[in-house]
A and B are shown apart, each in its own frame.
Chain A
Amino acid sequence: MAAQLSPKRTDAVIVGAGAAGNLFAAALAEAGKSVLVLDPGPAWQARDLYSSSIWARRLRWGGPVVESTGGHAFGAGFNMGWGTGGAALHHYGTWPRLMPSDFTMRSDFGKGLDWPIGYDDLRPFYDRIQEEVGVSGDADAEVWRPAGAPYPLPPLQQFAQARLLAKGFHALGMKTAPSPMAILSQDYKGRPACLYDGWCDAGCPTGALANPLVTYHPRAVKAGARFVNGAHVTQLIPGKTARAAAGVEYIDHTGTVQTALADMVILAASTVSNPAILLNSTGGAWTSGAGNSSGLVGRYFMTHSIASVYGFFDGEETENYMGVTGAQATNMDHYGKQSLGSDAFGSLQWQLAPTMKPNDLLGVAMARADLFGAELTAFMERAVHHLAVMFGFGEGLPVLENRIELSDRSGPGGTRTPRVVHTFAPESVKLSENAAQLGLKIIKAGGAAEPWAGPMASAHMMGGTIMGRDARTSITDSFGRSHDIDNLVIAGPGLFPTAGAMNPNFTNHALALRSAEHLVAQWLS
């Protein structure tokens, strides 16, 4: 592979065309900056988003396979994105805000970490993002919700599955509210309302769900940002001093090594790929990786536990194939960090009635993975019309030993591929176990037959490049600026010092907007 002789130079190079990368690209390009966005995957368009759980797999990570190990190995292949839109292209649009208590866990409980900012710092950005992309919900019904502007759109329609599950909560004196969703309940800013066909997992081609193809990507393109797909970034290139990056090296779709020089480097690849790129960047004085003077690049990787609770409503058509893949309703009565028993710790968020198609990892057939043969056939005939499910998302504590590191396997351009090592803390495991028991009690109270809880699972990727006030204990400041490299900004949920129990993409957007605007303001001044 020959290196290109005349490297390109732009004001900013952005690694990754996912949610944060596109938002940064739009903000910087609209501020008049020249922007190059590099992404290893394809340039998806809406017409590529087939309504099929099978074809949806093309939207998941298609680069060098990420090894996953530890006591509770994390499903990187399922959670990571591939191509323009990133993981947000196939995400489900469940957009709750973090709670104030998520930002001060160390101070409040002596566990985990504190954020360098509080909820009030992010609140205006949550408010602006929900207005820009369109979030549907009922702020008043969400009695747990922190202060903030009401949603710009009324809640999404609910179907039988949600109504049936809600009965159990109400029977126990618990509340439910429409889940806050970045899916349009009404036509909004030129995008159409949701059709409730439940294909969110396969990508939403109508534009009802706020994936980057219909939110910040068009703005970035219109403002002149240049997107190059099939570009696998291998490392940051050292600048004149250890505190400067000259740009990035990447391998293009032909296999040629290319160099992109820039005044600013925005690393927005993914929670897994960002630390992998930093750790593979060992040029110049960066002997232990770029931005890694603390030795904490890759550390404090977090995910959410999932307690899945199922039951049959035989006398009802649950319409479990209708709605949205995320959730129709929510409950956060046990969001308090110590509300699920003295042996557990962390927050819990219930998500009721996600769409289940018959096949796939979150589909009906997988609800009883132990069944096969004639028993599976009988189960399917019953379940596709009468099964209901709810997921309890539990907070995974930040643990130093949970990490993204480099494996011994060779990746593109002589890099080493990433490996995710993950084991839930004991109190996080207990949280999920207690949530499952609570869920069984709830679903029984609602009249479900033969309820059961599935094995603990996990979803969402956070941490690995955490923000903080101290360069010795974190990778970036609250704006994602590297403590070590002056012209490096990191974006994405990898910045989160704690995970809360909330789906991360709303907070990802709010942080990215705050960081991008700060960067623009600094730059223009």
Chain B
Amino acid sequence: MQTTQAFDEPAPDRRTLLKSAAFGLFAFTVGGGPMMLTPAEARTRGAALAKLSADEAALLEAFGEALVPGARAAGIAHFVDANLARPHSESLLTARYLDVLPPNDAFYKAGLAALDAASRTVLGAPFAQVSAAAAKPLITAMLPGTITPWQGPPPPLFYLAVRSDAADLVYGTRAAFARMQVPYMAHIEPPADW
């Protein structure tokens, strides 16, 4: 049984025999040309967004970071944006599990707008500018659906979708497993680092 050996290394057995070619990084546009990058790299390099505006991306980063610390640097906005640009059948977003009705970009845009409007009304500032402590009561009211005002998709659904996106990047990657000392034990190595 494998328990605490080198967490970021596959065990030297059948698992490694099943490695696939590492393809599947997201295609981002940097400097006018396409590049295959991870979401974190895309963020660092300022890759162009396909579906979200710069303001929406900044808001998604702020919300994702408030939900799961580390999500901003992990590239949540670019991760979500790249998946929104894919056909639904190729999307890797949890929204796919949550029966979010298409188009999914409208779901994210409407949810972000509702969150920002609620923040401006309740906290007197755009969500991206409020502190984690100040935002906490607002966010806490999302899962039970008691947040007001709210004009967007069901707040619990939007909360769960973005929280899951953030958790994917912060806790679901090979690097995250290694950080948490959880053995990854891939049968087939996933593309990129997740």
Contact = CB atoms under 8 A, between A and B. Distances in A.
Contact of A67 (B67, B96, B99, B132): B99
A195 B18 CA distance: 13
Given A63-B89, A373-B132, A51 B172 contact: no
B185 A198 contact: yes
B65 to A, nearest CB: 9
Interface string A361-379: 1011110011011101100
B100 A372 contact: no
26 contacts: A46-B18, A50-B188, A52-B172, A52-B186, A52-B190, A52-B194, A54-B190, A57-B91, A57-B94, A58-B89, A77-B98, A196-B1, A199-B186, A199-B187, A205-B18, A321-B182, A321-B185, A357-B172, A358-B177, A361-B164, A365-B171, A369-B163, A372-B66, A373-B67, A376-B68, A380-B180
A49 B20 CA distance: 10
A168 interface: no
Given A51-B184, A65-B102, A359 B90 contact: no
B88 A65 contact: yes
Contacts of B1: 157, 159, 196, 322
Contact of A374 (B69, B160, B182, B194): B69
Contacts of A198: 185
A50 B189 contact: yes
Chain A interface secondary structure, helix, strand, loop or mixed? Answer: loop
Nearest to B135: A373
Given A51-B190, A57-B92, A358 B97 contact: no
Interface stretch (A68-76, A296-304, A307-315, A476-484): A68-76
A63 B164 CA distance: 22
A432 to B, nearest CB: 19
Contact of B191 (A55, A66, A366): A55
Interface in B143-190: 143, 160, 163-164, 167-168, 171-172, 176-177, 180-190
A62 B104 CA distance: 13
Contacts of B99: 65-68, 73, 75-77
Contact of A195 (B3, B15, B69): B15
Nearest 3 interchain pairs by C-beta: A62-B89, A359-B172, A52-B190
Interface residues of B, number: 54
Contacts of A65: 88, 99-102
Contacts of A61: 96
Given A50-B20, A55-B190, A373-B69, 4 more contacts: A52-B172, A65-B88, A359-B168, A365-B68
Contact of A204 (B96, B184, B187): B187
Interface of B: 1, 3, 13-15, 18, 20, 24, 66-69, 87-94, 96-102, 132, 136, 139-140, 143, 160, 163-164, 167-168, 171-172, 176-177, 180-191, 194
Interface string A110-144: 00000000000000000000000000000000000
Given A195-B185, A206-B18, A57 B136 contact: no
Given A51-B190, A52-B172, A52-B190, A197 B185 contact: yes
A65 B188 CA distance: 29
A452 interface: no
A50 B15 contact: no
